Amino acid sequence: MTNEIFKSLSEILPQITGFIYPNEIEIHWGMLIVVYPYITGVVAGAFILASLVKVFNVKEVQPLYRLSLLTALSYLLVAPLPLLSHLGHPERSYEMFLTPQPSSAMAMFGFVYAWYLMAVLLLEIWFVYRTDLIAWAESESGPMKWIHKVLSLFSKDRSEGALAFDHKALKTITIVGIPSAFLLHGYVGFIFGSIKANPWWSSVLIPIVFLFSAIVSGVALVILLYMVITPLTGGKINMKCVDKAVDFLFYAVIVDFSLELVDFIHRVYQSEEEIKILSEMVMNKLFMSLVIIQVLLGMILPLGIISVTKIFKRRFSLNEDLRKMLYFISVLLIQFGIFATRWNVVIGGQMFSKSFRGLTTYKMEIGGIEGLLYALVLLVLPIVILTVLLKILPPWKEMKGEGNGKELTGEAPLGGMHAPEA
């Protein structure tokens, strides 16, 4: 054990610059804590996109509605895993609910999470799919019939009154859901923003910046998934919908970018005692992940690409394939950019010494519970869950409805991924 410590220390020590305190050599919040805000951000962002349809009546993005709800759910199911793995003893996590500790923001996560999962997301998905579940359960046979029957809670009511109630309930849940989604990711930002001893984190702007970067990452991810899944299932991408969604993404990126810029200018103008070490960190240790990936590749370049498609609208409106490709590149770049944002916040906040006189370094492990491979598993897991959810709760009717120019029914053969026996 001691030898292992010496070995890892001897690798890190030459990387340290200036003076740091002994307990600052090792970075404790590693890769898993980077993955955690990224995943919860996707949840909040995807839900906000879904609420565009229900609350703000943006009809163009209707094909993304169910996909974004399912995306939010599959990412939400994975959201606590990095925390549980990082803390260890997952079997004790229920104690958070038995002994609520309102003065600890971290201990409140269980409640924020449970509220969002049980009172918002599951309820909304259930109401959205209720009538479809009944229809599927009636027309199918075998295990699928029973799965859908159980999921519909054995309800059979498809009367006018029931549909009207569904509609009303959905609207209410979405209206409650928007502040809840803000709460979920604002909470994650608050955890960092409220640490007053750490000048890289301690800022009232952090929860808001987190929120907008969450919207950016969620919307971009749903667009990305839509552009990948639709062709895979034999559908045609509805460009009207993608155009509108990218519109919203564009404005969200601009707001996110300006907020981060405000934060940056504020820090530089205030020039408090930490500014020297922070600027040294940004220019050396975080240069690649912050300046290059987060700002240049993750924000300015996609903003530029989308702006070009907007400025030369007439020219691009003729060429759908080119527009598709440009959008695809933009949303992909934004994903990397937002992941880099999470990295810079979490890792950056631990890289400089509290003495403001030195910098340590982060040595990522490959294997092990805190390692790269496990983090990759956590990042892929939501996609696996989403695949299962897409099989159980196929959203194709809605996704392809307008794309093919004709309304498909829920019982029709569903593009290769799900073909229930007629």
Partner 1 sequence: MKKILERMPDALARLLVVFIGLAVAGAFVVIVLIPKPLKDVKIQWADAVKREQAKPVKYAGFHACAECHDKIYDKKKTGYHRDLSCETCHGPAKAHTEDPDKVKPVIPQERAFCPQCHAYNPSRPRGFPQINPVAHNPLKPCASCHNPHDPKPPTTPKECSACHGEIARTKAVSHHVQLECTVCHQAPQQHKISPRSVKPTKPQTREFCGKCHAKDAKDKLARNAPRIDLANHGEKYVCWQCHYPHSPEVE
- Nearest-angstrom CA–CA distance, 181 and 198: 26
**Is the CB of 45 or the CB of 358 nearer to partner 1?**
358
Backbone φ, ψ for residue 157 (5° rounding): -75, 110
Q: Tell me: does residue 102 bind partner 1 (CB under 8 A).
A: no
What gap in Å lies between CA 298 and CA 335, rounded to an integer?
Answer: 7
Collapse the DSSP code of 40 into the 3-class scheme (helix H, G, I; strand E, B; otherwise coil) and give the result.
helix
- 236 three-class SS: coil
269 binds partner 1 (CB under 8 A): no
Of residues 19 and 146, the one with the C-beta less far from partner 1: 19
Task: Pick the binder of partner 1 from 55, 84, 144, 169 (CB under 8 A).
Answer: 169
Identity of the residue, 98 or 366, whose beta carbon is nearer to partner 1 in the bound complex: 98
In 10 A of CB 62, how many CB atoms?
19
Q: CB of residue 155 vs partner 1: minimum separation in angstroms?
A: 5
Q: Which of 51-59, 118-126, 226-234, 314-322 is the region at the interface with partner 1 (rule: CB under 8 A)?
A: 118-126
Distance CA(278)–CA(173), nearest Å, equals: 43
274 forms part of the interface with partner 1 (CB under 8 A): no
Roughly what angle, to the nearest 10 degrees, separates helices 122-139 and 143-151? 140
- Does 56 engage in binding with partner 1 (CB under 8 A)? no
Buried b (16+ CB within 10 A) or exposed e, 118-129: eebbebbbbbbb
Among 36, 126, 226, 396, binds partner 1 (CB under 8 A): 126
Query: Taking CB under 8 A as the rule, does residue 316 contact partner 1?
Result: no
What distance in Å separates the CA atoms of residue 311 and residue 168, rounded to the nearest whole number?
40
Q: Does 165 bind partner 1 (CB under 8 A)?
A: yes
Alpha helices in 13-30 (DSSP H): none
Residues 320-359 that bind partner 1 (CB under 8 A): 355
**CA pair distance 244, 94, nearest whole angstrom:** 42
CB of 91 to partner 1, least distance (A): 11
**Applying CB under 8 A, does 251 fall inside the site for partner 1?**
no
Nearest to 280 by CA among 11, 16, 21, 27: 16
Cross-strand partners of 352: 359
Distance of CA 122 to the CA centre of its chain: 17
Shortest distance in whole angstroms from residue 108 CB to partner 1? 18
d(C-alpha 396, C-alpha 175), whole Å: 25
Is 361 near partner 1 (CB under 8 A)? no
Which among 62-70, 151-159, 247-255, 405-413 is the span making contact with partner 1, rule CB under 8 A?
151-159
CB of 2 to partner 1, least distance (A): 18
Binding flag, residue 16, partner 1 (CB under 8 A)? no
Give least dist CB 100 to partner 1, A.
13
Q: Which of 166, 243, 256, 274 binds partner 1 (CB under 8 A)?
A: 166
> Near partner 1 by CB under 8 A, which window of 56-64, 162-170, 308-316, 329-337?
162-170
Using the contact rule CB under 8 A, the part of the chain among 161-169, 187-195, 290-298, 378-386 near partner 1 is 161-169
Asked if 130 touches partner 1 (CB under 8 A), the answer is yes
The tokens for 188 are 């994650």
Q: Which residues pair with 418 in a beta bridge?
A: 414
Smaller CB distance to partner 1: residue 127 or 374?
127
| Distance of alpha carbon 22 from the chain centroid | 35
Q: Is 138 in the site for partner 1 (CB under 8 A)?
A: no
3-state class percentages of the chain: helix first, strand second, coil last, to nearest 5: 75, 0, 25
What is the spatial distance between Cα 156 and Cα 152, in angstroms, rounded to a whole number? 8
Nearest CA to 64 among 205, 203, 265, 238? 238
Interacting residues with partner 1 between 71 and 100 (CB under 8 A)? 94, 98
Q: Which of 14, 142, 161, 416 binds partner 1 (CB under 8 A)?
A: 161
Q: Is 107 in the site for partner 1 (CB under 8 A)?
A: no
- Residues forming contacts to partner 1 in the complex (CB under 8 A) are 19, 21, 94, 98, 118, 123, 126-127, 130, 153-155, 157, 161-162, 165-166, 169, 355
